[in-house]
Chain A
Amino acid sequence: MLRTSLTTAMVVALMANAAQAQTAADVLETYADIAEAKYADSLRTAEALKDAVTALTETPSAATMTAARQAWLEARVPYQQTEVFRFGNPIVDDWEGQVNAWPLDEGLIDYVDSTYGGPTDANQLAALNVIANPTFTLSGTEIDATEITPDLLREALHEADGIEANVATGYHSIEFLLWGQDLNGHGDGAGDRPWSDYAEGDACTNGNCDRRAAYLNVATDLLVSDLDWITAQWAEGGAARTALMADEKAGLSAILTGMGSLSYGETAGERMRLGLMLNDPEEEHSCFADNTHNDHYYNGIGIQSVYLGQYVRVDGTMVSGPSLSNLVAANDPGLDMEMRTRLSAAVLALGRIKTAAEAGFAYDEMLRRGNEGGEALIMGGVEGLIAQTRSIERVVAALDLGGIKIEGSDSLDNPSAVFQ
């Protein structure tokens, strides 16, 4: 009774109409162009971060520390808009963990406050502190970390012992090295790592400044090379673009799978509602920098951007073209209107969180037990994202894409990773 012949007729009509306006191939091409532009912008801003990190580690000062933090914040803006390419595109999914893994047991990397605790049941390496320990044992193997190298971070430490909380690379490891732990709990303020953690000689605070600087440089280099790689995958002839274009139906399905999975399971569920229900100030996506409001907001913007086929680049120019919105509107203008309305409503709700946070009501304060204003703001975002997911499902049904591929392989392949 679900897919009636009416639906089939609709799809045939839709494809016919669409051919006049734009084809599915055009829509896929716009999507791939936007992916390439977003990753290229992420690369460009990561290179700026690299320059700032070099300046910090060569001439440590309050000013170079502040500049590096600012560069990190700017780099997050395009990157968070790319998360909508996850889930639907296996190439992105397989790669993403080394770039944006979260949450992390930061004691793996560097010193932490005494309240952090030591190794936990779930993670024996939670307090390893590789910056302070040039040699250590990892799952029975002696590791020589006297020199901090890309291989050490990527091969030995990242997801060590099969635990996803062992995050050695990516944005959030760099965030920790720039801000340090946020010890304010639900109170005002982000992490406050002193710039002198990178100072030379006697001015060095908290020890091992040279190793810390080496770690930060290597992690930032890896981020740049990772973003360079993924950008190439979306270029003309790149593997991600080729895979997307290979099958029109599968390609459209990939777009919608990414939109729906990021909206529902990932952002609304894992990152927002769960954190709120746990009342845990560390249950925020950027807990060191207190940048979580932007993480969620730019996720929302990214989801909207692939539907509308429009992306504003970091230099202000616009990448746009035939969109999924056009394709849906060609046959079912009502559904397109519903989808666009819901996307706008979610962005508005996420924008309210951002507005309040930028006015001083930080995301970790919103998570505090019994904070009604914070709860209302966060749940507004959650509900907006859930509502748009329902419309995404309707678009999938209307386009007759053979259902949505359920994203479950990650947990099958790596069961310890299920709550990344």
Chain B
Amino acid sequence: MRALPILALTFGLALPASADVETALDRHILPAFAAFADRADALAQTAALDCRPEAVRPAYQAAFDAWMPVADLRLGPSETGALSVAFWPDPRGATQRTLARFIAEEDPVALNPQDYAEVSIAARGLFALEMLLYDAAFADYAPGSYTCDLVTTIAADLGHQAAALDRAWQTDFAQTLRSAGDAGNATYLSPDEALRALYTQILSSVEFTTDRRLGQPMGSFDRPRPTLAEARRSRRSLRNVVLAAEAAHDLAAALADWDLPETDAALGRVRLAAERIEDPAFQDVAAPQGRLRAEVLQQAVADLRQTIEVEIGAEYGIEPGFNALDGD
């Protein structure tokens, strides 16, 4: 398997590069969007029947799980669409502030899932729902209250978003990636560009996990910031790290049609380091032992990036393009 791309390189011939992009789409990306759309729809229906936190939480967790395999993609429909599904990090507390304002003013926008697409992304998607379902300041609402309607609306809006993302990926954008290099494809002028675009997504996802999902709550040794952990209220912080690492690995494996022993081993070390974390919401990073375990996990994720660069990037001779984390 492995000799094939090298041979192609030697002769200076392009393989049908879309073969790898096709696999990434068919094996990872498209099934994941379909599954997320299903879960988000189930969440919307659950919330419509019973808006109370204890009733909605299991469906919420399932939808978030389904989101993670594609959570870090920032191309095509996800370039703009991902942020309104999952707005995080939120350094200025916009989610809390915006939801509190809606509730205080009983903004009628909460009664209409269609109009809700217009509101601030801080009040939409998984993290807005998390605030209402898990934060003590919000989660004591009664059936029939404004907050209850708001939960139902946000869940319905999320269902619409998931369906729209699924549709846009399955139809238009998958075709854009598949037809890279064809005359008439103005997005990707060669198969290589589609491959590089997906490769960039993998590396930036891993970078996001080390720098933000882990780096943010870890803060500095003197000033750890456990309250900045992603999805700490729903206690998903660790789970998201592992699911994101698995997604990066799977997408990498799909993109390469050869074995990735180092990358497989690196994912194994991520899982092992994750098992040793005691608090799934990273609230123990302030204690020396907790911080040490988080550092080990962070290093394991960073190693995953390295192995992907070696086993895929170097193998293809590609370098990542710009990603959304460039800048500061």
Residues in A lying within 8 Å of B, measured CB to CB: 1-6, 87, 103, 120-122, 161-162, 165, 260-267, 269-270, 273-274, 277-280, 369-370, 386, 389-390, 392-394, 396-397, 402-404, 406-408, 410-412, 414-420
Contacts and interface: CB of A to CB of B under 8 A. Distances in A.
Contacts of B43: none
B207 A418 contact: no
A263 B218 CA distance: 30
Nearest to A103: B92
Contacts of A404: 319-322
Contacts, number: 165
B324 interface: yes
B94 A280 contact: yes
Contact of A278 (B94, B193, B203, B223): B94
Interface in B106-161: 118-122
Interface residues of B, number: 58
24 contacts: A1-B9, A1-B13, A260-B322, A261-B326, A264-B323, A267-B327, A269-B324, A277-B84, A277-B121, A278-B94, A278-B121, A279-B119, A279-B120, A280-B122, A390-B321, A393-B196, A397-B192, A397-B196, A403-B319, A407-B328, A411-B325, A415-B212, A415-B215, A418-B91
B17 interface: yes
Given A2-B192, A264-B326, 4 more contacts: A265-B327, A277-B121, A393-B321, A394-B193
B264 interface: no
A1 B8 contact: yes
B17 A418 contact: no
Task: Report whether over half of chain A's contact residues are helix, strand or loop; otherwise say mixed.
Answer: helix
Contacts of B326: 87, 260-261, 264-266, 406-407
Contacts of A266: 326-328
B120 A402 contact: no
Contacts of B93: 120-122
A408 B211 contact: yes
B62 interface: no
Contacts of B215: 411-412, 415, 418
A361 to B, nearest CB: 19
Contacts of B29: none
Interface centre among B91, B189, B216, by most chain A C-beta atoms within 10 angstroms, is B91
Nearest to B115: A370
Nearest to A382: B80
Contact of B322 (A122, A261, A402, A411): A261
B5 interface: yes
A273 B324 CA distance: 11
B14 A165 contact: no
A406 B203 contact: yes
B181 to A, nearest CB: 11
Nearest to B215: A415
B173 interface: no
A99 B89 CA distance: 24
A264 B317 contact: no
A355 B323 CA distance: 30
Nearest to B79: A386
Contacts of B228: 122, 416
Interface centre among B5, B218, B321, B326, by most chain A C-beta atoms within 10 angstroms, is B326
A55 B182 CA distance: 63
B83 interface: yes
Interface in B297-328: 316-328
B196 A416 contact: no
Interface in B65-122: 79-80, 83-84, 87, 89, 91-94, 118-122
A1 B327 contact: no
Contact of B218 (A2, A121, A410, A415): A415
A250 to B, nearest CB: 14
B13 A415 contact: no
B85 to A, nearest CB: 11
Contacts of A5: 12
Given A1-B14, A1-B191, A122-B228, A408 B325 contact: yes
Contact of B12 (A6, A393, A411, A419): A6
Given A103-B92, A161-B223, A370-B118, A277 B83 contact: yes
Given A269-B327, A406-B320, A419 B91 contact: yes
A1 B315 CA distance: 9
B327 A4 contact: no
A264 B80 CA distance: 13
A139 to B, nearest CB: 8
B185 interface: no
A122 B92 contact: yes
Given A261-B327, A269-B327, A418 B89 contact: yes
B219 interface: yes
Given A265-B327, A406-B207, A165 B92 contact: yes
A280 B91 contact: no
Contacts of A279: 119-120
Interface centre among A263, A269, A386, A407, by most chain B C-beta atoms within 10 angstroms, is A269
A291 B86 CA distance: 30
Nearest to B8: A1
A46 to B, nearest CB: 22
A1 B192 contact: yes
Contacts of A273: 80, 83
Nearest to A96: B328
Contact of A265 (B12, B119, B323): B323
Interface in B199-233: 203-204, 207, 210-212, 215-216, 218-220, 223, 225, 227-228
Contact of A162 (B80, B219, B320): B219
Contacts of B191: 1
Given A408-B207, A416-B225, A4 B219 contact: no
A390 B187 CA distance: 9
A122 B89 CA distance: 12
Nearest to B190: A2
Closest 3 CB pairs of A and B: A403-B319, A266-B327, A265-B327
B195 interface: yes
Interface centre among A278, A280, A394, A407, by most chain B C-beta atoms within 10 angstroms, is A278
B265 interface: no
